[in-house]
Amino acid sequence: MEYRKLGTTDLNLSVITYGAFAIGGSMWGGNEKQDSIDAIHASLDHGITSIDTAPFYGFGLSEELIGEAIKGRDRSKIQILTKFGLVWDKSNNGKGEHFFDASDEQGNPVPVFKFASKENIIKEAEESLKRLGTDYIDLLQIHWPDATTPISETMEAMELLIQQGKIKAAGLCNYDLSQMQTAAETIKLASNQVSYSMLNRGIENELVPFSIANDISIIAYSPLERGLLTGKYFKNARLKSDDHRNGYFGQFNPELVEAFLNKIQPVADSQNATLSQLVLRWTTLQPGIAIVLAGARNAKQAIENAAAINISISDEELNFINENLALISQQLA
């Protein structure tokens, strides 16, 4: 595994970091508890030292599973990344910005709000520490921008948590350039976690140059477009009816994506690698991308993700991938 320093902090994260959204089950067609714990153990045993989660993932379940999985492990060798700012219970009394309606296990609607007030951040951090079974969080991130709370208030709350020793570093998620610039006026930012993949490269225009110039690490999520770029959904794979990807995949042109994957399959084959491993490795090599999140719902997937870092892509192969990617990008535009 390779490890990279996060921003100007003392944190060194595994370049492939375990993404724990899916193990929360909600929006992903459920989960199997033991498979999820096995996936975390396999990740840790194969060099992935960093785990990214959020309270919203499974309404607390993802954090709880991580807490159970790391119990008894050397905490100093594990970096926990979690978030705040998506509120689904009634404790905020409707404050914040309505985001969307999720569903509970019975299929009942659950209103979700973006809410990043100082009081709420302190509250959520304490709840996360309890669920994770730890006394500090390595990187705390605002999950989504909250238009109802001044950015300075949110950043000041994270600065307070750093001073209290409850978090080591502060990060953003899904902030655009203007929002990043405003946040940076109040606190030294470690990172911004944003969506980035072969099919979604918009951040390269402004956000990447700003981040590089200001020593802010980019954490890329959805590098495999939630499984689409693995290729298996073109080979009779089926999603459960309550899996959000049934709608998510619809934004892409399946025929073009499949044709592109068929083009680069020989590169993966030459490396004795899977398409998902090739795509993950390509993502780690892009300018400004420090950390790449990869989800796994069982040990086999976790081991495969960790091994992606071992792929050596030549300049010729990289050019071949990029040339074909440019063609599909033009057609998808």
Concatenating the DSSP letter of every residue in 165-230 gives TSEEEEEEES--HHHHHHHHTTS---EEEEE-BTTB-GGGTTHHHHHHHTT-EEEEE-TTGGGGGG
Q: Is 248 a catalytic residue?
A: no
- Per-residue pLDDT averaged across 79-90, rounded? 92
Torsion angle, alpha carbons of 53, 105, 146, 176, to 10: 50
The answer to which of 6-20, 29-43, 208-222 has the lowest mean pLDDT is: 29-43
Angle, nearest 10°, between helix axes 151-163 and 177-184?
50
Strand 97-103 with 109-114, pairing = antiparallel
Cα–Cα distance between 24 and 62 in angstroms, integer?
Answer: 4
* Domain parsing of the chain, residue ranges: 3-250+275-312
Supply the pLDDT for residue 63: 96
Q: What is the pLDDT of residue 28?
A: 47
- The third-level CATH classification (topology) of the domain covering 3-250+275-312 is TIM Barrel (3.20.20)
End-to-end, the C-alpha distance of the chain in Å comes to: 35
Mean pLDDT score of the chain: 91
> Could you tell me the sign of the dihedral formed by the alpha carbons of 119, 122, 125, 131, in that order?
negative
Q: Are 5 and 215 in contact (CB under 8 A)?
A: no
pLDDT tens digits for 85-104? 999 876 677 789 999 888 77
Give the tens place of pLDDT for each residue, 50-77.
Answer: 999 999 998 999 999 999 999 999 999 9
pLDDT digit string (tens) for 202-230?
A: 999 999 999 999 999 999 999 999 788 98
Whole-number Å distance between alpha carbons of 312 and 303: 17
pLDDT in tens, 138-184: 999 999 999 999 999 999 999 999 999 999 999 999 999 999 999 99
Decide if 169 contacts 139 (C-beta within 8 A): yes
241, pLDDT greater than 70: no
- Per annotation, catalytic residue among 3, 18, 57, 248: 57
Q: pLDDT-derived band of residue 22, with 50, 70 and 90 as boundaries?
A: confident
